[in-house]
Structure formats: structure tokens, C-alpha cells
Chains A and B, each alone.
Chain A
Amino acid sequence: MTRMALSVAGIVVGVLLSATSAVAHDRGVLRLSTRELVVGNAVRVNGEKFSPSANLELVVVGTRGRIAVGKVTTDSAGRFQTDLDVPQHVAPGTYRLIAVADDGDEVATVDVTVTVWESDAILSAPADGPPTPSAEPPQLERAESPWVTGGALVSVVGALLLGLIALRRPTRHDRTVDA
């Protein structure tokens, strides 16, 4: 019994260890010269404990969007240093600066605050220029299926018929009179 328990425990430990070693890249650490970022200014970013020679994209993520602010490659020790310009079109607020690996995994994050208001501030803008806000819906090609629309119409008719049947007037049989 003890031998069996040891065997099971060994298998479990083995599975756990193999799962741990399956992580493709290391999680790193981001250190900023300041966490109070000023629009239009640069901030020194030091990274360490990443995978060696890893390509990382640095993005700023806020409540409603993200914007890429730079790309770096780590050295053989998994470190990098870069100066990031805080884009003019980032609105003031609280954000996360995230390092994203090639496969899309977020491998490091640090909270930052952006200050100084710009009247044309945006967050969800593409990096190639400020977008224009619009109250008009974009032209979307809605997915349509005759089965879905037909099924929905049949359901509507069915619900109407069943509803009308259920709404028939209460009969005398339904009524009771309190004493």
C-alpha cells in the first residue's frame, strides 16, 4: 500500500515538474525611472529576468484600450534597457505597462500613471495617428443565416400563438368565491 502511494506521489510530482518546465519563457521584471509618466516625455525602462534574446513588445493598457509604445530585445542575460516616449495621444489616467512576448504572453507588468491632459488625448488609437470619434455606427457586414432568421420568426409565431392560447379568459371553473 505504501509502495503504491509512493508511486502515485512520484507520478504526480513528475507531472507537476514537467508542467512547470513546459513554460516557454521566463517572467521578467520591469523597473521604471518613474511611474508618473508625462505625456510627450521619455521614461527609462530596465528589464531583467526575462528569457535571453527574447523579443518583447511594450504596450500601455488602460481601461478601454491599448497602445504599443516600443519593442526591445533582451541580451544574453535576459536584460534590456530602453527609453520610451509616452505618446502624445495617451489620455491621463492609470495604466499598466506590459511586456508581451512573441507568442502573445504577458511576461511582465507594472502599474503607471499618465499625467498632463491633452485635448486630443486618446487611448485606443492606432499607433499611426489619432482617430476621430464618431456617433455613427461603422458599416459592418452582419452575419446572416436564413436558418437563424427563419427559426426566430417561427419562434415568434409560436410564442404568439401559445401566448394567445394561454390568455384565454378564465372560465367559471377557474373562479372560486371566498366565504
Chain B
Amino acid sequence: MNSKRGQAPGGVLRSLGERTALDALDYSVPARANRLDFMLGGSTLAALVLLGLTGIVLTQFYNPSPVGAHESIRYVITSEPLVALLRDVHVWGATAALVLVFTHLAAVFWRRGFRQPREGLWWSGVLLLALLFGLAFTGSVLRADQEAVEALAHAVAGADAAGPLGAPLKADFTPSSPLLTRMYGAHVSVLPLALVTLLALHLWLIRHLGVSATGHVRVAFRTHLRLLGGISLLVVAAVTLAAIASPGSLLAPGVEGFEVTKPHWTFLWIYAAENLFGMRGMLAAPAVLFGFMAVVPLTDREDGTLATATRALGVVLGVLMIAAIVYAALAPAQSHIGAGM
């Protein structure tokens, strides 16, 4: 065995490191960044990767035509155990991603991680949240079951009320392609592309502006990555376990013109607003939430007088949102857009 061969493992790794610029990871981060509340964003990224990988498999089995959509999912559930499990992981991965991103957002809001110079970081995060909502919505309507049909009907009604802004959600926007197929296109191409682009910006800003953790003690970023990897693996384990224990549901094929279901839990707060205020509530609730998040870095400044009020309003909105979700989950299904029950 010659000396070159004896050094092979270390040499290969070193060589690989040189050629992939892994040295760029040799920098330090505040030790506080290793706390759980600073790893929620990275954990969300892990959930998104899981969603991307399972989604690639699901696209091989899903039929995005109105005629075959429901049947293709039914086929997966009844005939393809592995793909069915991956679908369940996909569904639970979406729940994990949304829970993690909301917790991440709440943590950043509470520690005022949006203050100068990190306003752009916050705004890119808010846009990422909006994209995640878009992905959750387009994903849930792809089932073409009763809940999906009602969700799509609400979107179309909202699009009608929104005027020209809602045009892409109208059935006659492109008459040659069904709305469901366009939702599929948005779910697998438009929104993921926008998500990856924004994510790249978000990560770039984190790398160059740093996280908002304070303290002089610093640790190697590789250590941070190891811990983040550990948490990500726990997230994957939890999501897979949830998928095994509670598989994703599929209702009967959707029947138009009725409202007998409630939306996915992530949209229950909007559903609650619609219960209370009708179509205006459905449009106003997300506008209020995202409008508030958009102005947070402008109103909560170190030299500003609105900092306390902004924080208080944020807490009130958060509590209202949770209360609305609980209320909508407990309240009986209601008809909102003139459909039968």
C-alpha cells in the first residue's frame, strides 16, 4: 500500500472541499444562534426540502386534469403504499413547515430581529410566508375533493371581488386550460421557483447581515450546522411518524355549488373572518395580517415611539389568529358564497 493510498480518505475529502469551496463554511456565528429559537428558520428549510423531494415523487403519479385528479390520488392511496406514505409525509411536511415558519416569525418578531439593518431579511421572510400560504392553498385544491372544490370556489369568488388583481384565479383567464391544471402549474413551478429565489435572497442576507443574536462568545458555523442537522432530522422523524399514525385524508369527489366542509387548518383564521364578516372578512383578514407585518420594521424602530404599540398590536393579532382558528375549528360549517349546504 503506497503512501498516496494511505492518505486517500483525508486527501479525497480535502480535495472535495477545495473543489466545492466548503472552506466558505469556516466562519463563526454567535453561540446564542445555537438556541432552538434561532434554529426555527433552518428547521423550516428542512421541512421545505422534505416537501420538495416528496413532491417530485407525487408529480409522477398525479394527474392534473379535472377529469383524473381525484382518481389519481385515490389510485395512489389504494394501490401504491410507498407513494401513499410519501403523500402523507408531504401533507404533514406542509403542516410542519407552516407551524415552524409561524413560530420562527413570532420568535423574530419578539426579539425584534427585523430592526436595522435586517428590514430586508424580515420582508423577504414575510413574502416567503405568503408563498407558503400560496403553496398550501394550491396544494390543497389539487385533491379535487369536496374541500378542494369549495376552497377553489372561495378563491374564485374572492378573485371576482378583488377585480383585475384576481383575474388569474378566474376560470376564463385562459379558457384553454382548466383552473385546476393552472393551480397545479402554480404549485409545482411558479410558486416553488419564486420560493427558491426568495429563499436565496433570505439566506444571502442572513449570511451577510448575520442573525440578530447578541453576545461575544462565538462558535464555528459547522457546529451550528451540525445542531441544525440534528433538529432537522428530528423534524423529519416527527413528520414521518405523524404520516404513519394519521394518514392524509381524501374526501369524495367534489360537488360544486355546496359548502359542507371547512378549509385546511392553516386557513381556518380566514374562514373565521368569513364567518363573521362575509367575503369582506375573507379578503381583509390576510390583508390585515400581511399589511401589519409589512409595516413592522417601519414602526418598530429603536428611535421610534411606536415600538411598544407595534409589539402590543403584534401580540393581539397573534392571539386573535389563534382564537380564530380555535373558533372556526369548533363552529359548524357555514355557507358563505351562496352555495347550498
Interface residues of A (CB under 8 A from B): 61-66, 91, 93-94, 96, 111, 113, 118-125, 131-138, 140-145, 148-149, 152-153, 155-157, 159-160, 162-167, 170, 174-178
Contact = CB atoms under 8 A, between A and B. Distances in A.
Contacts of B257: 91, 118-122
B290 to A, nearest CB: 27
A157 B31 CA distance: 29
Contacts of A111: 175-176
Give the interface residue-count category, chain B: 35 or more
Contacts of A121: 256-257
A156 B240 contact: yes
Given A140-B77, A175-B219, A178-B218, A156 B241 contact: yes
Given A136-B251, A137-B251, A176-B28, A164 B256 contact: no
B228 to A, nearest CB: 9
A153 B333 contact: no
A136 to B, nearest CB: 7
Contacts of A176: 28, 218-220
A64 B85 contact: no
Given A62-B178, A65-B67, A167 B77 contact: no
Given A64-B152, A175-B218, A134 B223 contact: no
A94 B67 contact: no
A132 B255 contact: yes
Contact of B234 (A93, A143, A159): A159
A64 B252 CA distance: 13
A133 B258 contact: yes
B281 interface: no
Given A61-B178, A63-B180, A170-B34, A124 B253 contact: yes
A157 B238 CA distance: 10
Contact of B78 (A94, A140, A174, A177): A140
B245 to A, nearest CB: 10
